[in-house]
Amino acid sequence: MIIAGAGSGKTRVITYRVAHLVRSGVDSFNILVLTFTNKAAKEMRERITHVVGGEAKNIWMGTFHSVFAKILRVEADKLGYPNNFTIYDTDDSKSVLRAILKEMALDEKLYSANFVYNRISAAKNNLIGWQEYQQNEQIQADDFSSGRGHLGKIYETYAVRCFKAGAMDFDDLLFKTNELLKRYPDVLNKYQQKFKYIMVDEYQDTNFSQYLIVKKLAAVTENICVVGDDAQSIYAFRGANIQNILNFEKDYPDVKVFKLEQNYRSTQNIVNIANSIIANNKEQLKKNVFSENEQGDKIKVMRAFSDNEEGKQVAEAIMYERTSKGLKWNDFAILYRTNAQSRAMEEALRKLNTPYKIYGGLSFYQRKEIKDLIAYFRLTFNPNDEVSMKRVINYPRRGIGDTTVDKIIVSADQHNITQWEVISNPQMYLDGRSSASVYGFATMIQSFQVITKNQSAYDAALHIAQHSGVLKDLYEDKSVEGLNRYENIQELLNGIKEFSEREDIEEKGLDIFMQDVALLTNDDNDKDPNADTVSLMTIHSSKGLEFPNVHVVGLEENLFPSQMSLNSRSDLEEERRLFYVAVTRAKTKLTISYATSRFKFGTLINCEPSRFLDEIDARYLELDYSARPQGGSSSSAFSDERQAWSTRGSDAFSKPKAATPSAPPKTTSILAKAHVPTPGFAPSDTAGLQTGMEVEHERFGFGKVISLEGNKPDIKATIFFKEIGQKQLLLKFAKLRIVN
């Protein structure tokens, strides 16, 4: 187990370990390297090729999903799937679910496609099939108590429909691989003997399903090497389980642990504050991350009186830094906790004519015109793909309306056959006019099937684009949008041509290109990461990236850490790891900012500085409080905090004296001490709260209720607290103790 701190050269270590195996005589076909993004796999393969040459082509290296999809392509028939099964992306899955919910006439408020998709996804990642889901008493009790008792039936219908369509969704690539290895010991033994050397990158991000597959494959030789950093485990919301890395030594008692503790990326000051942040987590693998780079600037903390003012300060700071030091725009990144925070940043950057790019936006492959043409490709290889059929059967228009599509679906259900069987034999199941149109569509798809067998990926794709009518339809749209869509199709065809001419892969059919597209991760979608623009992204999206200058914005309670994370220590510790990831993206300069007020749902609310600020060792900080609230009163909620910061500025942030080995310097808090709750503090039932009552808040202390407004459950209380002044709180979240 290699515990790799931020910026410690993890990718280089993996690369050279694999290269060492090959040079030592290990058969490259016996090496398996699992990553989380195609980008990471590509980078590693390029580096390994540079060291060992052509043998790198033989290594099974890729994302969990791409490697397991490759295995499933070979073994799919054992599970009843065709080898050319379709891989549904998230949009495809939700489209199937929307159709099911419509057929079942369920309330969209209780059963939104997003909610149902996430529920099924979570079940699959925990290896709970639809049968187990329906038989689990606790799950059923939870569903019925929330008014969602139909979830089990929806899950069953969805699973059966995907199977019937010869399709697997993204989660099935893990779920079905587990099923395959469990049901067929001979298949498990085959791949255990094949993969004698297993390496897993970013092991802290594995979920239960991934963990189990890796454990099964490594069970015979136990020749497994995992690389990761528990301090950067930030994906619990999508099923990642930090216990996988924390318990690795229990799973493999003979394990050898190596720690990469030198950070080659960041200045000493940045590494020091990162260490002071993560030291507050109780659940961690201890390591001593250090840097031998220059000391670097202190970390600047900026306070703004509103989110718009924060955006203005950040934009101006970037402009000044770039101009004064001759930097490029792409030397800067702005990281935030939620996508909604980008608005204020974008507006401020636009006012200064600063070029920027938001990462994690609409993927090229999610654009309508791209999905339309890809649907034709998918239907060519798997005519039972009902999602693709519905998408293109009448695009471009060919006289097959919704009524005809409904007849196809009904006929297929009545005769217990696939929809493609109805489409390819329309004279048997449909009437006159609609039969002729459907027959023409079926004949066209069948002709595409012949073409793909005899032509290259590019030639086949171009033929389908032309003869389906997609290219003609977009070419005839002379609007700006139409031109852009036509150019996007050309770009897709260009990509397929590049794929056809690649020398590092043997199989170059259109079906293989389709598999690569289906398995793209969010991190692989941005075409030009070197474009000279300021990068804006969520902290989750920034993982694995680095920038010379980083602004981490919105360090406020209930925003970062998020309000949802304050219910348990494990959730709060994940938020702290997220903050750790944010600050360690910076190489030379890091700036942190927060606002004392922010618009939320159209209402300006007061904000409290994040508790994470209080955890940073103040010796490494520089306060920049040039912005002052305009028109504020001395009873502002942050008047005392403002005073605390300003009075500490002269001595708390002076150059620290050298510490003796026997007496290490203590961490200095940069915020005033919070209110200490009354012993046995417990929130009261505030249903009977009235104006004039005295209350206690865990952090704000004692105060008096000035006014109440709104209706249940969104009643707001304006309270004057003795220590910090006036605040407006939502009662359902406030957790107040009524004093009298």
pLDDT score for 113: 87
The alpha carbon of residue 31 and the mean position of all alpha carbons in its chain are separated, in whole angstroms, by 28
Active site residue 202: yes
pTM (predicted TM-score) = 0.68
DSSP string, 28-54: GGGEEEEES-HHHHHHHHHHHHHHHGG
Active-site position among 10, 124, 337, 577: 10
Backbone phi, psi, residue 158, to 5°: -65, -45
456 known member of a binding site:
no
Active-site position among 585, 589, 598, 727: 585
3-class SS at 624?
strand
Cα separations in angstroms, 108 against 101, 111, 120, 140, 589: 8, 5, 16, 20, 47
10 known member of a binding site:
yes
Q: What is the mean pLDDT of each run of 10 residues along the chain (740 residues)?
A: 89 88 91 87 86 86 91 93 90 90 87 89 92 91 88 95 92 94 95 94 90 93 91 82 87 91 92 92 87 91 89 93 91 90 84 84 72 93 92 90 89 90 90 84 94 89 93 80 78 80 74 78 52 89 90 93 84 92 95 86 77 88 60 33 40 32 37 62 86 86 86 83 78 86
Active site residue 232: yes
CA dist., res. 71 & res. 64, Å (int): 11
3-state secondary structure 452-485: HHHCCHHHHHHHHHHHCCHHHHHHCCCCHHHHHH
Active site residue 11: yes
pLDDT score for 376: 95
Active site residue 640: no
Please, what are the domains in the chain? 2-79+175-256 (3.40.50.300), 86-165 (1.10.10), 279-363+524-623 (3.40.50.300), 370-503 (1.10.486.10), 673-739 (2.40.10)
CA dist., res. 86 & res. 378, Å (int): 7
Active site residue 92: no
95 known member of a binding site:
no
Q: Are 428 and 408 in contact (CB under 8 A)?
A: no
* R_g of the chain computed on alpha carbons: 29
Count of CB atoms situated within 10 Å of the CB of 597: 21
Q: Residues near 541 by Cβ (< 8 Å), separated by ≥ 6?
A: 359, 360, 522, 523
Q: Residues near 326 by Cβ (< 8 Å), separated by ≥ 6?
A: none
11 known member of a binding site:
yes
Structure tokens at 225: 């090497």
Active site residue 294: no
Q: Please count the CA atoms within 13 angstroms of the CA of 201 that sit on its side-chain side.
A: 26
Active-site position among 169, 171, 201, 557: 201
CA dist., res. 228 & res. 5, Å (int): 8
Q: Are 281 and 565 in contact (CB under 8 A)?
A: no
Which residues of 107-205 form beta strands (DSSP E)? 167-169, 197-200
633 known member of a binding site:
no
DSSP string, 210-279: HHHHHHHHTTTT--EEEEE-GGG---GGGTB-THHHHTHHHH-TT---EEE-B-SSS-HHHHHHHHHHHT
Q: Are 89 and 109 in contact (CB under 8 A)?
A: no
Active-site position among 202, 230, 511, 523: 202
